[in-house]
Amino acid sequence: MNVKLNFRNESNDVDNSQVLIFGSNAEASNDETAVAWKVIRNCGQGCRHPFVYSSDVEVNMIDPYANHTRRMHIEPGQEFKALMTSSGTQLEFADNNDAPNQYTIANQLQDGSITVQIWRSGSVYAAKSGVLPAQKVSFEFKPTIFIGVASQVVEGEVVDSAVVSSINTEISLLGLASADIVMRGGGGGANSVPFTFTLENIVAA
């Protein structure tokens, strides 16, 4: 089910701050970092930015030759494989795996590492690079997002680990049909206070 979200800037921000939204892979190793799923820019005071958290997930890969496969729908509990075919590299459905909540991708190429990208609502939600031949990568997501103010972040690219560690607002979307995410705080000089993000106008699924 899709969750309709509406970011609202009710803050006293005077720096035209960027707002970063990202997910978290429960199966990530310690050396993996988050991907900037949504970056909200130039959303002035009193303005809003609607977006959707879709339950539909897609996967693609970037092969060792910098080719991007088409995006394909993937269900929790499914495994896809990267392999060489008569037409070149492809990403194909392999089988159902033993972990019903995980999306798994196996590199079955003879040579070269691949990058796996997971897409949600038309944007890259998670990624893993350097997946070597005979290796697998798994993704598992809770229905939560992280949100905070950041700078010099680019949508679809890996976020610096220092930026990720500075953002500690986690919002659960479990059981929601729609909600507003309201940013408050900010300001300049001695009157500046930390930014906060809270859910309002919640509609249950």
Domain ranges of the chain: 3-54+142-204, 57-139
- How crowded is residue 98: how many other Cβ atoms within 10 Å of its Cβ? 9
Provide the whole-model pTM. 0.92
The strand pair at 176-186 and 3-9 is best described as parallel
Read off the pLDDT of residues 102-133 as tens digits, 9 standing for 90 and up.
Answer: 999 999 999 999 999 999 999 999 999 999 99
Q: Are 104 and 61 in contact (CB under 8 A)?
A: no
Residue 201 token pair = 């106008």
HSE-up (13 A, CA, CB side) for residue 3: 24
Share of the chain above pLDDT 70, in %: 98
Q: What is the mean pLDDT of residues 93-99?
A: 90
Q: What is the mean pLDDT of residues 84-97?
A: 95
The pLDDT value recorded for residue 188 is 80
Residue 41 token pair = 């820019």
Question: Helices marked H in 49-150 — which ranges?
Answer: none
In whole angstroms, give the CA distance from residue 166 to residue 126: 19
Residue 24 token pair = 């978290």
CATH annotation of 3-54+142-204: 2.60.40
* pLDDT at residue 30 tops 60: no
The pLDDT value recorded for residue 191 is 80
Q: What is the mean pLDDT of residues 60-77?
A: 97
